[in-house]
Amino acid sequence: MRACGAAASAAAVALAPDASAGPRDVTPPQRQDHAEAVYPPDGKGGAAVVLALVVDPTGTVTEVSVREGASPFAEAAVAAARAWRFAPATRGDGPIPARILAVVTFHAPSQAPPPPSTPSPPPPAPGVQAPGGASPAPPPEEVVQVAVKGEHEELGTIHIPRAETRFVPGAFGDPFRVVEALPGLAPVISGLPYFYVRGMSPENVGYFIDGIKVPLLFHVGAGPSTLAPALVDSVDLFPAAYPARYGRFAGAVIAGETAPPNMDHAHGEFQVRGFDADAFAETPLDRGRGSALAAARYGYTGLVTSIVAPDYALGYWDYQFRVAHRIGPTDALSLFVFGAYDELDYKKSPTFRVEYHRADLRYDHPVHEGNLRVAATFSYDDTLTAEETDTGTGAQAALKAPGGRLRVELDQHVSPQAWVRAGADAGVSRFTVDSYDGVIHAPHTDVVGGLYGDVVWRPTSRVEVVPGVRFDAYQARGETALAPQPRLSARVKIAPGVASITAVGMAHQEPTDEVFVPAQLPNVIDESPRQSYQYSEAIEALLPARMRMRGTVFYSLVRATEVAGREQSAGIEVFLRRDFTERLGGFVSYTLSRAETTLNGQTSLSDGDRTHVVSVVLGYDLGNHWRVGTRVFFETGRPYQQMCETPDCSAGESPGLYTVHGGLPPFYRLDVRLEKRWLFAEGRWLAGTVECFNTLYKDEPIGTSYGPQQGLTINTQSPVILPSVGLEGGF
């Protein structure tokens, strides 16, 4: 190490309590390799670089960022850290992700490093091994803490940290768009960020930000998220039997968590592309006792849509503002205000409009081994969707409602083996508009309340069990209902690196709790209260080359309580993953499934049925901060039902009519991304990106029509190719 002129060190270790963490018998990660940092050829003198690292459960460094340090030493330290290998942090007998700070100290090759101040050098900090067995370099003037965050990954979820999401081709660097590459998801139309999840209708999929329900997470069109990318800390897809904290949706839940307030230093990011721009900034307040954050995005899409889809016009914007401040030594008060607007017109007629605003006031009070949060949320929603016709739009559905919600959330470790999560909420919404396809409900007030609780229990290091229950009561459209919803999930380690995960549960959705999808009306089942029953069984395994695999079988059933209707789906999912922070990383997801709808005794394939859905996403680090990636998406054709005058829908006339069932042709799409990043002193960076969605300009089959003269015609969505040249930066 001394021959190379660099050393790595870390000072005191501190466990970081976190309300989202599980029981805290946490052991920090330990260095296992002897990789050496190389003194940069254009370096002069000595330097110290402070790095923030994320070490995943396999011991791989998945994220490296520079907290302090200047070029060229920062680049050399980052390059070295990416090659480090650790014995991962553990909780009990299970590996967990960890966030640590480390110092890489460089000395000019011509000068010897300063001798230790005592004959016996101090030992490394607990859990941190100096590279090559060399004693660590002296710590900087301020003690650098190594913080281990025992992040609890919910059973049955697919959890994607933000560090990986920006590498996914076709997602345009947006954290939420990565869910489109996950198993079980099929978009309503390719590129439109509204999904059938395991065959269930998009209207049954719930979106949450910090536990706050929102009508959508994605802008229409190019589909960036309605939150600034820098504000998103993680994204979770709960395809079924989600934690008791979430409720009131009969299908899946897609949940985003924001990064906690940064009270240490100012930072910001920006992004400019061919169709929108966004900016984000956060700064400490009151000498580190608080912080203020502001972010916004604006889509200037008129020029792009006039070229690639002249019949359409769309626009969108969003904003976020947050101010947080410590009250006394432990408590904290914060206000998070955010909102978004989307509008899509077809032939100058409104097809889709969503506007929402949220203001969430939170008070956090640490309790023994946990955290208590009391929050109040004001909300306003104005949503509309309409069916497209040849001349514009036809039938519409619309909701408009201001509202408010109070909630209490408690996370507490009651023993080294058990962690309790409980809460309650009550909300009211005043619907001034509530209409569906000509059925207009009088203005009404919906009232909803609920209690929930679950326990993360680890009786042994090989077993984790999460029993939970949610109980909702509501009055919607003048009707009152009670909805108990038990849930249970369990993870059992059956061999080294192999575990089984079981999830089973019930969920309920009231009729006015629905998500609107562009150019598509909710079906009859989705206009009724719904009760769902969900089950899945999975096997996950660690594979060679730091790959992970999960295979899942699932079954879901949604029953409408006011009409004779139901939706059910069953299938198999396979998900193979290697972190994008590897030189070659990516996802391979495959879903084999069947989805059916039964209405008034008649059963047919659901609109969301796709027998096969495949996503292959690969990213490769070319070196020198160049990175290239590609994504291939494939799905078999959706089902169709067509009335024809001949039994096979061929041209011709007959006195009778025939109902013909079939499947549309399959569809595939190729997306690519190229990125070059430059790093500067004090953590500043700049990146140029070239990205293209639907590079091969493929059109997508979406339906059928019939005429006696021409027979059956396959209707296609006009092919949309979306190239993007962008500039990103941050500090």
pLDDT in tens, 351-360: 788 899 999 9
Q: How far is residue 85's CA from residue 61's CA, in Å, rounded to a whole number?
A: 7
pLDDT band at 731 (very low <50, low <70, confident <90, very high): confident
Mean pLDDT of 273-291: 90
CATH superfamily of this structure's domain 158-730: TonB-dependent receptor, beta-barrel domain (2.40.170.20)
pLDDT, greater one: 281 or 477: 281
> Residue 414 pLDDT > 70, yes or no?
yes
> Residue 513 pLDDT > 80, yes or no?
no
> Residue 159 pLDDT > 50, yes or no?
yes
**Per-residue confidence (pLDDT) for residue 308, from 0 to 100:** 62
Q: How far is residue 364's CA from residue 325's CA, in Å, rounded to a whole number?
A: 11
Q: Which of 206-215, 331-340, 384-393, 620-629 has the highest mean pLDDT?
A: 331-340
- What tens digit of pLDDT does each residue of 434-484 get? 887 777 888 999 999 999 999 999 999 899 999 999 999 999 888 888 999
> Residue 719 pLDDT > 90, yes or no?
no
**Per-residue confidence (pLDDT) for residue 454, from 0 to 100:** 94
55 token code pair = 């070490």
Length of the chain: 731
Averaged pLDDT of the chain: 80
**Per-residue confidence (pLDDT) for residue 165, from 0 to 100:** 61
pLDDT, greater one: 225 or 14: 225
Mean pLDDT of 377-398: 76
pLDDT, greater one: 625 or 405: 405
Mean pLDDT of 534-545: 92
Cis amide bond preceding 72, omega within 30: yes
**Per-residue confidence (pLDDT) for residue 525, from 0 to 100:** 63
Q: How far is residue 244's CA from residue 488's CA, in Å, rounded to a whole number?
A: 10
Of the listed ranges 22-31, 125-134, 393-402, the one predicted with least confidence: 125-134
> Residue 424 pLDDT > 90, yes or no?
yes
Where are the CATH 3.30.2420.10 domain residues in the chain? 2-148
**Residue 120 in contact with residue 65, Cβ under 8 Å?**
no
**Per-residue confidence (pLDDT) for residue 485, from 0 to 100:** 94
Question: Which run of H or of E encompasses 378?
Answer: strand 370-389
Mean pLDDT of 641-652: 88
**Per-residue confidence (pLDDT) for residue 225, from 0 to 100:** 84
Strand-strand pairing, 312-327 and 206-209: unpaired
Where are the CATH 2.40.170.20 domain residues in the chain? 158-730
**Residue 429 in contact with residue 401, Cβ under 8 Å?**
yes
Strand-strand pairing, 13-15 and 146-148: parallel
Q: Enumerate long-range contacts of 121-125, CB under 8 Å, 24 or more apart.
A: 124/9, 124/10, 125/10, 125/11, 125/12, 125/13
Of the listed ranges 85-94, 181-190, 258-267, 625-634, the one predicted with least confidence: 85-94
Detail the DSSP E strand segments found in 83-231. 86-87, 89-91, 94-96, 98-106, 146-148, 158-161, 185-187, 195-197, 206-209, 212-214
**Per-residue confidence (pLDDT) for residue 288, from 0 to 100:** 85
- What is the percent of the chain where pLDDT is above 70? 81
> Residue 488 pLDDT > 90, yes or no?
yes
**Per-residue confidence (pLDDT) for residue 74, from 0 to 100:** 80
Terminal CA-CA length for the chain: 31
User: How distant, in Å, are the alpha carbons of 176, 214, 313 from that of 353?
Assistant: 20, 14, 12
**Per-residue confidence (pLDDT) for residue 337, from 0 to 100:** 98
Mention every residue, 6+ apart, whose C-beta is less than 8 A from residue 671.
169, 170, 630, 631, 633, 691, 692, 693, 694, 695
**Per-residue confidence (pLDDT) for residue 581, from 0 to 100:** 64
Of the listed ranges 152-166, 442-456, 586-600, the one predicted with least confidence: 152-166
pLDDT band at 498 (very low <50, low <70, confident <90, very high): very high
**Per-residue confidence (pLDDT) for residue 18, from 0 to 100:** 33
> Residue 15 pLDDT > 50, yes or no?
no
Q: Indicate the pTM of the whole model.
A: 0.77
326-328-330-332 Cα dihedral, nearest 10 degrees: -30
**Per-residue confidence (pLDDT) for residue 410, from 0 to 100:** 94
Mean pLDDT of 671-684: 84
**Per-residue confidence (pLDDT) for residue 141, from 0 to 100:** 32
Q: Which of 661, 668, 671 is nearest to 704 (CA)?
A: 661
**Per-residue confidence (pLDDT) for residue 537, from 0 to 100:** 95
Of the listed ranges 88-92, 231-235, 362-366, the one predicted with least confidence: 88-92
Question: Which run of H or of E encompasses 75?
Answer: helix 73-83
> Residue 4 pLDDT > 60, yes or no?
no
> Residue 133 pLDDT > 70, yes or no?
no
pLDDT band at 524 (very low <50, low <70, confident <90, very high): low
Domain 2-148 has CATH 3.30.420.40: no
- What tens digit of pLDDT does each residue of 549-578 get? 999 999 999 988 777 788 899 999 999 988
> Residue 33 pLDDT > 80, yes or no?
no
> Residue 139 pLDDT > 60, yes or no?
no
- What tens digit of pLDDT does each residue of 49-66 get? 888 888 888 788 888 877
Per the DSSP assignment, residues forming a β-bridge with 707 are 711
Q: How far is residue 486's CA from residue 464's CA, in Å, rounded to a whole number?
A: 17
pLDDT band at 526 (very low <50, low <70, confident <90, very high): low
**Residue 290 in contact with residue 264, Cβ under 8 Å?**
no
**Per-residue confidence (pLDDT) for residue 399, from 0 to 100:** 87
Mean pLDDT of 268-287: 90
> Residue 221 pLDDT > 90, yes or no?
no
Mean pLDDT of 170-182: 71
pLDDT band at 522 (very low <50, low <70, confident <90, very high): low
**Per-residue confidence (pLDDT) for residue 467, from 0 to 100:** 95
CB neighbourhood size of 534 (10 A): 26
Strand-strand pairing, 418-431 and 444-460: antiparallel
Q: How far is residue 222's CA from residue 299's CA, in Å, rounded to a whole number?
A: 9
State which amino acid sits at residue 275. F
**Residue 366 in contact with residue 332, Cβ under 8 Å?**
no
